[in-house]
Amino acid sequence: MASTDWLSQGTLVLASNNKGKIAEFEKLFAELNLPVDVVAQGKLNIEDAIEDGLSFVENAIIKARHASRISGKPAIADDSGICVPVLAGAPGIYSARYAGEHGNDAANNEKLLADLKPLRKEGEAIEGMFVCVLALVQHADDPLPQIFQGIWKGEVLEAARGENGFGYDPLFWLPELGISSAEMSKEEKNKISHRGQAMKLFKASLAK
């Protein structure tokens, strides 16, 4: 099956119930002018999949297959998070539930700050990176999911800055810009973020 056959299906299910992600994806997909309706899974009464993979890639595929199986439509899923090398890559795939409760941004941010506090050295930045993996399946049993990955490198602040975005955005510092990702507009963020990078690769695949 050709990689763009799904474009003839009329609908592409966005396998997410995360309001922050959905808001960013709505803007990103709007720029593509796809000949399909991109519908968030919540509008189809599809609940979140059980994310029991061991990597961003595995979890993205799990979520995409879940949404496709229930809807009978092609689906695209995002699995993303922040990875901090000095924490051996944590929070990683557990970013959304790092503090225990899924989707509690404030608690997750507090735990990350607490975990990093004893590791900080005066005058030294702590590196971090946002990772986004998109998985596109044309049907639930698609043997060849299409994978698009974006990585956004920065530093982890000692305290939150900014009111925009979601997740760990207030702690993610971009030294080359002198702002946190929570101090950027959606448009600014989408141009350079991990999710924006993955979407650029997705867009490029449509031209093949």
What's the CATH code of the domain at 191? Answer: 3.90.950.10
Bridge-based pairing of strands 127-137 and 146-156 is antiparallel
Sign of the dihedral defined by the CA atoms of residues 165, 167, 171, 172, in that order = negative
| Residue-level pLDDT at 62 | 99
Quote the tokens at residue 6.
Answer: 């799904």
Q: Is 5 a catalytic residue?
A: no
68 among the known binding-site residues? no
Matching residue, tokens 């799990």: 62
167 among the known binding-site residues? yes
168 among the known binding-site residues? yes
Phi-psi region of 76 (alpha: psi -120 to 50; beta: other; left: phi over 0): beta
| Residue-level pLDDT at 208 | 67
Distance from C-alpha of 146 to C-alpha of 165, rounded to nearest angstrom: 27
pLDDT per residue as tens, the chain (208 positions): 447 888 889 999 999 999 988 998 998 999 898 999 999 999 999 999 999 999 999 999 999 999 999 999 999 999 999 999 999 999 999 999 999 988 799 999 999 999 999 999 998 999 999 999 999 999 999 999 999 999 999 999 999 999 999 999 999 999 999 999 999 998 999 999 999 999 999 999 988 6
> What domain range is 126 assigned to?
5-206
Question: Of the listed 48, 79, 105, 115, which one is catalytic?
Answer: 79
The total domain count for the chain is 1
Q: Look up the pTM and report it.
A: 0.93
